[in-house]
Structure formats: structure tokens, C-alpha cells
Amino acid sequence: MKKKLAFIFALAFALFIGWGALTPTTAQAATDDSLSQVQKKGKLVMGTSPDYPPYEFQATVHGKSKIVGMDVAVGQKIAKDLGVKLVVKSMSFDSLLVALQTGKVDMVISGMNPTPARKKNVDFTHLYYQGGYSIVVNKSEKGLYKDKDSFKGKTIGAQTGSTMFNETKKQTTGTKVKGMTSVSDLILALQSHKIDGVAMEKPSAQAYVANNKQLAMIPSHFDLSSSDTSAAVAFKKGSTSLVNAANKSVDQIRKQNLVNKKYLPAAGKHLKTNTVNTSMWHYWKAFLTGVKYTLIITVCSVFFGFILGVILSLARMAHGGVLKTGLRWLATAYVEFIRGTPMMVQVMFVYFGLGLIVNLPALTSGIIAISLNSGAYIAEYIRGGINSVDEGQTEAARSLGLTSASTLRYVVLPQALKNIWPSLGNEFITLIKDSSIVSIIGVSELIFQSNIVRSDTYRGVAPIAVIMVLYFIMTFTASRILNYFERRMQHD
């Protein structure tokens, strides 16, 4: 699943890079106004994947959930030096570079190593931090392992799309490498003995070990070039003026050793306050936000999906002239296409792909994508429902002089709807669950929120149990309500 995710992202990324290659980037470089653009906007949008303490993570500051960490401090310094406001946008690590390419964010600071492959696609600043890799293991098994070479026949986990993942693959023999999107998942896998070690950057490893008594760390002894073990700020390719400006801040950070002296200690403090109270009650607000967004997405998507579904189903049943045949053909193609592609890809396409034309917020993109998807399925239900209405009904209505539109509206559709009500209800309940897919573009629905709570509290299972219960409450309530209306319709 996670592998597939990474693959899809890689594909989407390749697509956009390819796209970029086709459009004349030289013209862009010639008129590089990236710096003045940011200054004109008055804000600098930073993309990050906040599940990687102490680089970036969620903390509760004055009762509010906030993204903090040393990378955020770096971002703040750059923004301050440019005289603009910093806006932090969170999303999964895999989608960061796509977001940068498509202008969803101005820069990426997410413990990202400036590898040669990445350098081809984005521009990096100088290094703001140079660390190293460690491997986190279960404390009870610490004696078994010395470094990366002790894992023959075992499994090491690493964040998908990260440098560690690639290097672990390259530099171990006889060791399986398991990729997952978030470090919290990896730690959970480690504690449940699905994997035997987790490769991550040293500061992260320290944070996890300090906050979780069951974990220990060992040196990795990976043979790495400095670009592999260090972090830099990424900007869109060709934004030289912005990179140069940011480099001034980065150089200061290095010269004054700000990361070690100020940023890491500050992050450490947040980590402490974070883990003081890891009770799930403490995070009820985060879960509530998740429930709220999940419901917003579901209700809006079913609503718009239904309207789209009616239109599509009618178009699919249009008969007659060239225009109607064309319409039918189009609607059929749309339905087949949507049903034949994963919703996840559709969500990414709307967010990143349409993002090239209009800059839509993640929530709007998510609702659009899921409505477009749901419309195709609802169209098929409605078509089936209309076909299930006896032909004699239409004939009776037409014989009374009703137009075909009135016949549809007053006679056929009401009966069709009653027939397909259970299917529509199922679609609604499915969407409550499937809307979780928009977590990949950073919408704070329930899954996304639970991931935040998990990396916040270093507790892997409890948040999952909580959202499981919450999902069940939502779907169960929804199905009760739908049943009630179904029974009422039967009375008529």
C-alpha cells in the first residue's frame, strides 16, 4: 500500500517534471522574479511534513495545535530576514516536491537532503544543518545490534522517499528495507516487531529515544557523502534570487551555530510539553477537527456528486441527434474513466494538476475531486434506478401530455430515487470512510489528525483506536438516519 503510494507519487512527480521540461524553463530563468513575488505577497509559504521531531512536529502551544521544530525556526529566520510572514503548510513527505513544483508552496524545509537527483528538479540553499544517521531499535533487543551490518535477514524501516530509504537499500546486504510514509508508523511497526530497526536522522532518533522508554538507538555507520546527511532548503527550480536571499540567512545560521544553540533546545522543550499529557482526552480538539472536516468533505461531496450524477445519468441515456449521441459518449467515457482510476490519483491530480491553472486550497480540491469521483458512481446508481421504473409509467405520463422533462421530474425520478436510496446511503457511508484519502494533500480530516496525534504523543495505537471508534459512530449514526428516511419513504 505504502509502496504503491510512493510509486504513484513518483509517477505524478515525473509527470509534472516532464511537463515542466516541455515548457520553456529558460524563459523563466531569464526573468527570475521569485524574490520580488514573495515580497509582493508579503508571505513565504513553507511546506513540511510534521511527523519528524525534532525537525518538525505538531505541538500544543497555548492550547492550540501548531507545527514547531528546528526547521520551522529556520523558516521563520528566512522569512524574517526577507521581511515577510511565514505560513507553514503541512503535507506528506512524498508530496512536498510536487507541491513546490506546482507552486502550492514557495519552499520546502523538511529535513530534506540535497541529493543529486533532487537537485535536478529543485534548487537548494546551502546546508543549514549537518547531522548523521542512527538506527532506532527496541531497547530489549539493543544487545543484538551494533550497526547497519547487524541486520542480516532482518528488516530495517525508513520513511518512503527519504534518503535513508535509498541508502539503506544500497548499503545493506541481506537486509529487507520497508518503506512507510510516516515515522510514527515506522516506530509502531518497530514496537510491534514488524520490523527490527528504523533508520532516521540522529536528532530524530534522539528525540524518539528520549521520549519513549522502550526504544534505544545505535549508530548506523552508513557511508555517506555530506549531501546525504545534511539538510537544505528547497526552492522551485530557477528561483535564483530567492535562493540567494535565503542563503544569507542560512549562512548566518551556520556561522552562529543557531541550530544547535537555539533551535534544537527550543524544539526539545516542545517535545517535553508534548509528552507530558499523552492521554487521548487531551487531544479531543484535534479529533473533533478531524471529525468536522471528514463530515464537511463527505456531505459536500455527496451533495455535488448527486447533482453531477443526475446530469451524467441523463446524458448517458440521451438518444437522438448527433449532439445527444456525443453527450452520451462523453458521459460514458467520463464514468468509465473515473471508475477505472484510483481516487487517490484523482485527488492528487485535482490538487496538483489543476493547481497549475488555479490555486485551490487543499480542502476545496479534496471536495472537488471526491465529488467528481462520487458523481460517476452515483450516475450509475441513478441510471439503474431510472431503468428500474416501469416503462408504463412514462407512457402514462406522456399520454397525459406531460413533456419528457416533466415526466422525468415528477414521475420517473421520484420513483428511481426511492429505488436507489439504499445504494445512495451506501455511497454516503463509503465516502465517510474513503474521504480519508484527502489526508495525503494535507486536509485535516480524521486520519490526518490522528497521524498528528500519533507523532505528537509517540503513541502508535491509541489514536488509531480512537478514530476507529469515531468512524464507527459516524457511519452507524448515518446508517440509522438513512434507514429512518427509507422507512418513511416506504409509507408513502
Contact residues for other proteins, defined by CB under 8 A: 390, 392-393, 395-403, 406, 410-411, 414-415, 418, 492
**How many whole angstroms separate alpha carbon 247 and alpha carbon 249?**
5
CB 343 within 8 A of CB 305: no
Which grid coordinates belong to 81? 530576514
Q: CB 422 → other proteins: shortest distance, Å? A: 17
DSSP E strand boundaries for 95-188: 107-108, 122-130, 133-138, 155-159, 176-180
Q: Grid coordinates representing 150? A: 547487524
Name the residue with cell 510514509.
181
Tell me the three cell numbers of residue 227.
Answer: 549531501
Q: Which is nearer to other proteins, 26 or 399 (CB)?
A: 399
Cβ at position 409, least distance to other proteins in Å = 9
Grid cell locating 356: 497549475
Q: Select 43 or 398, whichever has its Cβ closest to other proteins.
A: 398
Tell me how far CA of residue 162 lies from CA of 97, 112, 122, in angstroms.
12, 8, 15
Q: In this complex, which beta carbon is closest to other proteins, that of residue 251 or of residue 390?
A: 390
- Is the distance from CB of 225 to CB of 153 less than 8 angstroms? no
The residue to which cell 522508554 is assigned: 213
Q: Is the CB of 301 or the CB of 407 nearer to other proteins?
A: 407
Min CB(421)–other proteins separation in Å = 12
Q: CA nearest 169: which of 151, 144, 190? A: 151
Angle at 43 between CA 357 and CA 14, to 5 degrees: 40
Distance of CA 263 to the CA centre of its chain: 27
Q: How far is the CB of 382 from other proteins (least distance, A)?
A: 16
The residue (of 408 and 478) whose beta carbon lies closer to other proteins is: 408
> Measured from the CB atom, is 1 or 405 closer to other proteins?
405
Smallest distance, Å, CB 462 to other proteins? 49
Rounded to a whole number of angstroms, the minimum distance from the CB of residue 321 to other proteins is 12
Q: CB 418 → other proteins: shortest distance, Å?
A: 7
At 224, give phi and psi (nearest 5°).
-130, 145
The nearer residue to other proteins, 410 or 485, going by C-beta atoms, is: 410
Contact status, residue 84 vs residue 76, Cβ threshold 8 Å: no
